[in-house]
Amino acid sequence: PDIEDIIESEWRKHIIALVIERLNASFSGKAMDVFSMTLDGKSADDIASALELTKDSVYVLRNRVQSRFRKEARQLRSYLEFDQ
């Protein structure tokens, strides 16, 4: 990988960390647990069982957090990036 690829990768990681920090301030309890377990590749059934939720609740919480994640990521990128 060249230096530009490395910089881009690190920038993405930075944006993701900032977004997750914002999400932790907005969502509490099981919503972030569901999101984290989803990122770890856990199935909805496994998450529901581990967190004592219904599968439908897992889908709802996951979709809420994912939707906010995308929105926050777009906003942060727009705010932090600039054309040279």
Give phi and psi for 81, each to the nearest 5.
-95, 155
Give phi and psi for 70, each to the nearest 5.
-60, -45
Domain presence at residue 13:
no
Query: pLDDT digit string (tens) for 26-83?
Result: 998 899 999 999 999 999 999 999 999 999 999 999 999 999 999 999 998 888 776 4
Q: What is the spatial distance between Cα 6 and Cα 10, in angstroms, rounded to a whole number?
A: 6
The reported pLDDT for the residue numbered 82 is 62
Domain presence at residue 58:
yes
Domain presence at residue 56:
yes
Q: What is the spatial distance between Cα 13 and Cα 17, in angstroms, rounded to a whole number?
A: 6
The reported pLDDT for the residue numbered 29 is 86
What domain count does the chain have?
Answer: 1
The reported pLDDT for the residue numbered 63 is 97
Domain span including residue 53: 24-84
User: What's the chain's Rg over C-alpha atoms?
Assistant: 15
Query: pLDDT digit string (tens) for 6-23?
Result: 998 998 899 899 999 999
